[in-house]
Amino acid sequence: MERARVPPSLLSLMLVVFGLTTGEFVIAGILPDVAGDLSVSVPAAGRLVSAYALGMIIGGPVVTALTARVPRKPLMTGLIAVSILGNLGSAAAPDYPVLLAARFLAGLVVATFFAVAVATAVSTAPAGREASTIAKVALGLNLGIVLGTPLGTLVGQRLGWQATFASVAALSAAALPMVLRFVPALPAAATGPLRDELRVFAGRDVRLAITLTALGNVGAVTVFTYIAPLLTKVGGFSEGAVPVLLLVYGAGAVAGNLLGGRLSDRDLMTSLIRLLGALAAVLALFWAAGGVRPLAAVLTFALGLLAFAVVPGMQARVLTTAGAAPTLAVAVNASGYQLAAAFAGSLGGALISDGPGLRSLFPAAALLTLAGLATAVHIHRGDRRRTGASARPV
């Protein structure tokens, strides 16, 4: 029965997403080792994260648009190959500039692959199961954060940071035969001129859906970016407890991702409104009572659950509004998420350094999430006006 629910094609895509996500986040665990080995400062080594994110931001719209007329299986194969080369180049980099370029190359294909994987999975999903299918693909992302990152860090600590990137490349190489064997051969996402693809962004619904993703996620991302000092300085936990609490957050993320997919299948916008409202409430409660350690541990799980429960529905909303160019829209949506993450880091730094301090991240994040909630309500009301149907109470 489980094979029918999660077919090999979907498992193949999940494995690739797992490898790509591990490659994105594992640098955080080996950053001091990279800095020491290459004789650069830790802030300079931190730019490796920015290089990967910049690759995703640029690659999302550009690579997806340029490859829109390539059939999906050859496209995915090529994207995986570029990722392998980027990570092998990272492992073999003799100096900091080469490593910086290799991380940019590795990140360049991530948003496009995720978009193609989502579009491929949804095109083969049973009717009414689109959001939960997206959740299964995104489960690879969750597992990359929860399992891939600590395992990659452990490999780097034992065998050197080069071995970490080589392992990420090996993981993608192992997934490649599965993609070739199990993922169905589907036609290209587009057959017409590039300008026809770009017209999708002229649609108000698509722009609102991407705005919802950015606003609905930026609050939770702001808190997660500074989760370690928040847990120690606000929550009162020891530094040794942080890895355990990150696992608690990750467990919530996995559960929330699957729960969000099921809820969105039933009623997409209504579920998003309720989940965003609950997320804002958890952030506010963290601000009010986060110093109580048992409650803070529970809230950490709830934060992970709700932060990832909104993701499948948001991706599904982009797909349903994109019409003839779903892959490009999802890729741009992924790039928008990266921009939101970059904004979250800057906002958090400003609040901590020049503003009211670390604890203020919680109410700021709650207010940002409420902006996402307001956007979701606006979208929902617009849908009701167009269809003339009464919506369920939210």
Q: What is the DSSP string of 151-171?
A: HHHHHHHHH-HHHHHHHHHHH
| Domain spanning 190-387, CATH class | mainly alpha
- Distance, in Å, from the CA atom of 336 to the CA atom of 135, rounded to the nearest integer, reads 19
Q: How many residues does the chain have?
A: 394
Mean pLDDT to the nearest integer, 63-82: 89
* Spatial CB neighbours of 147, under 8 Å, sequence gap ≥ 6: none
Residue 223 pLDDT: 86
Amino acid at 190: A
376 pLDDT band, cuts 50/70/90, is very high
Q: Please report how many Cα atoms fall inside a 13 Å half-sphere around the Cα of residue 241, on the Cβ side.
A: 15
**At 68, is the secondary structure helix, strand, or coil?**
coil
What is the model's pTM? 0.74
Mean pLDDT to the nearest integer, 100-108: 93
Say if residue 134's pLDDT is above 90.
no
Mean pLDDT to the nearest integer, 288-306: 91
- Please report which residue ranges of the chain form alpha helices under DSSP H: 2-5, 8-25, 27-38, 42-66, 72-92, 96-108, 110-123, 130-143, 149-159, 161-182, 194-198, 204-225, 227-229, 242-266, 268-289, 293-322, 326-353, 361-387
199 pLDDT band, cuts 50/70/90, is low
User: pLDDT by residue (tens digit) across 10-49?
Assistant: 889 989 999 998 888 787 667 778 888 988 876 677 778 7
Say if residue 113's pLDDT is above 80.
yes
196 pLDDT band, cuts 50/70/90, is low
Among 35-49, 68-82, 290-304, 363-377, the range with the most confident prediction by mean pLDDT is 363-377
Say if residue 2's pLDDT is above 70.
no
Q: DSSP code of 233?
A: I
The domain spans of the chain are 1-188, 190-387
Say if residue 324's pLDDT is above 70.
no
Mean pLDDT to the nearest integer, 183-209: 70
User: pLDDT by residue (tens digit) across 216-258?
Assistant: 988 998 888 777 788 888 888 887 787 788 788 888 988 998 8
Q: Are 102 and 93 in contact (CB under 8 A)?
A: yes
1-188 and 190-387 share one CATH topology?
yes
Residue 372 pLDDT: 94
- Distance, in Å, from the CA atom of 244 to the CA atom of 232, rounded to the nearest integer, reads 13
Average pLDDT, the chain: 83
Residue 123 pLDDT: 78
Say if residue 198's pLDDT is above 60.
yes
Cβ neighbours, 10 Å, residue 300: 28
Say if residue 82's pLDDT is above 80.
yes
| Domain spanning 1-188, CATH class | mainly alpha
Residue 251 pLDDT: 87
Say if residue 5's pLDDT is above 70.
no
Percent of the chain predicted with pLDDT > 70 = 90
Mean pLDDT to the nearest integer, 164-178: 94
Say if residue 163's pLDDT is above 50.
yes
User: pLDDT by residue (tens digit) across 256-296?
Assistant: 988 998 898 889 899 999 999 999 999 999 998 878 889 99
Say if residue 204's pLDDT is above 70.
yes
Residue 189 pLDDT: 60
Q: DSSP code of 184?
A: -
